[in-house]
Amino acid sequence: MAGLEKCVDRAFRIPIFLSTTGTLNNLQQSFLNRLILEIEDALLFPRTLPDSEQYPETVLTNIRRLVLSSYGLLAIDFRRFFVQVLKTNAGQPPAANPFWQGSVFLQIEPSMAFQFGLPILLVREKGTDVNNGLWQGGVAPLNILVEWDSDNQSIDQFFGSVQWREVFANWAAEVRANYYIRTEPLIRFPT
């Protein structure tokens, strides 16, 4: 009976594309697990490559297929690689300019979702890809960006914050509106 309930519960959830990386540290994995619970509590169904979906095509074709069959995208940019770039000014010794970089696909997946018109919510671990593509923030219309300060903010503090709750509720409403628009019948019968 529990298996049937789980199946029925999944049937009434709206599928969304959860874009994230596959290798995480323990804190990042705890954050992701809590995020998935938040998504499921909003009656949305998170799908991701290759964990819940895998097709026999190339990576980009798989991403496109998942974008086309979803009603919203939530992307998480976790810290992945610490990069140290040496800058030189005229006549000055090189100065280190370190930064955190996320996954390469976290530029492609939200871009494809934007191209298809999906509602997009971006969550970034503080300091990651600050000046890199759509993750730099303020890039209209991709300015729905929430930052998690993993060094100073607990997971419960982040998910309990007014900023997160407000942005997540607005995004979930956009996902539901997109679902309604894309699944509404073209012909209306008189009642």
Would you say residue 46 lies in a domain? yes
Our count of domains for the chain comes to: 1
Using one digit for the tens of pLDDT, what is the confidence trace for 74-119? 999 887 766 666 555 665 655 555 555 566 678 888 888 988 999 9
Two tokens, residue 31: 């954050």
Domain that holds residue 163: 2-183
Angle between helix axes 105-116 and 59-68 (nearest 10 degrees) is 40
3-state helix, strand, coil in the chain (%, to 5): 40, 20, 35
171-183 residue pLDDT tens: 999 999 999 999 8
Q: Is 133 part of any domain?
A: yes
Q: What is the CATH number of the domain that holds 111?
A: 3.40.50.450
What tens digit of pLDDT does each residue of 37-64 get? 999 999 999 988 765 566 677 778 888 8
pLDDT at 15: 93
